[in-house]
Amino acid sequence: MASCASKICEVKARLATTGSVTVLTGAGISADSGVPTFRGADGLWRNFKAEDLATPEAFARDPRLVWEWYNWRRELIATKHPNPAHYTLAEMERRFPRFWLITQNVDGLHRAAGSRKLSEIHGDIWKVRCTRCGAVTENRDVPIPILPSCAGCGGLLRPHIVWFGETLAAEDLARSFAALQQCEVLLIIGTSGIVYPAASFAPVAKQAGAFIVEINLDATPNSSLVDVSLRGRASEVVPELL
């Protein structure tokens, strides 16, 4: 079996000869910054039920509870900083002429690291959306006063996050699929690969002929279709690729 070091050489060689890179990230890339993941031993879904907190039904039933949970998360994320993996992806954006970053993360750490060519497909914890007029605004209050209301129309504000059962923004999906179909190399970093539609992204890129690299602590459903699997911490492995 090839050693991990030689696998990294193989990926570096690929990256040295391509101009077109797409990246898909998940909670694992921010785990090394201290942001909890969702699944696994220390994941958020161990102590909180997704259906009580991350669905439109939960918000309709008890908006106060949902906002309390988001206030706790905003408070936690506000103290966190990008790690070397986030910074390496921001550098890749400058190096590769065709680059797109698709993140499922809502923590804003990619932007904080300098990434601009990105789709935050599950939303942004630092934005709120009016349930009445639909206005989306940035809001960095920690804590946010519960229950928050829209400055324009007085309607109830909700987190600008895609919850289970909600569709992703059409523009984000179109941009993501275009980037997956056009890339020569796809890096998949720190995602369990079980939440749709992102769970379908690797097969789309594979079908289009991309060379796919997975960076994760553990095996995932994507592991069987990728070309190279690098097992390790994102903050240590990703910087080695440039």
Binding residues vs ligand BJW (CB under 6 A): 26-28, 31-32, 37-40, 43, 54, 104, 106, 122, 161-167, 190-192, 194-197, 216-218, 220, 233-234
> Which residue, 32 or 93, is less far from ligand BJW as judged by CB?
32
What residues make contact with Zn ion under the rule CB under 5 A? Answer: 130, 132-133, 135, 150, 152-153, 155
Residue 106 interacting partner from ligand BJW, Zn ion, none (CB closer than 5 to 8 Å by kind): ligand BJW
Separation in Å, CA 73 to CA 56, 76, 90, 158, 198: 18, 5, 24, 14, 23
CB of 19 to ligand BJW, least distance (A): 26
Rg of the chain taking only CA atoms, in angstroms: 18
Beta bridge partners of 188: 24, 214
Residue 86 interacting partner from ligand BJW, Zn ion, none (CB closer than 5 to 8 Å by kind): none
Closest CA relative to residue 231, chosen from 219, 221, 220, 217: 217
CB of 128 to Zn ion, least distance (A): 10
Residue 133 interacting partner from Zn ion, ligand BJW, none (CB closer than 5 to 8 Å by kind): Zn ion
CB of 93 to Zn ion, least distance (A): 34
Chain residue whose CB lies nearest ligand BJW:
28
> Which residue, 144 or 195, is less far from ligand BJW as judged by CB?
195
Cα–Cα distance measured from residue 203 to residue 188, given in angstroms and rounded to the nearest whole number: 12
Which residue is catalytic, options 86, 110, 122, 160? Answer: 122
Residue 7 interacting partner from ligand BJW, Zn ion, none (CB closer than 5 to 8 Å by kind): none
Query: CB 95: neighbour CB atoms within 10 A?
Result: 11
Q: In what order do the strands lie in the sheet with 136-138?
A: 136-138, 123-130, 157-161
Residue 156 CB partners (closer than 8 Å, separation 6+): 63, 130, 131, 132, 147, 148, 149, 150
Q: In what order do the strands lie in the sheet with 211-216?
A: 118-120, 98-103, 20-25, 185-189, 211-216, 228-231
Place of tokens 């890129």: 205
> Which residue, 75 or 154, is less far from ligand BJW as judged by CB?
75
CB of 158 to Zn ion, least distance (A): 11
Place of tokens 């690929």: 14
Cα–Cα distance measured from residue 223 to residue 41, given in angstroms and rounded to the nearest whole number: 20
> Which residue, 20 or 55, is less far from ligand BJW as judged by CB?
55
Assess whether 110 carries a catalytic annotation.
no
Residue 43 interacting partner from ligand BJW, Zn ion, none (CB closer than 5 to 8 Å by kind): ligand BJW
> Which residue, 153 or 169, is less far from ligand BJW as judged by CB?
169
Active site (catalytic) residues: 122
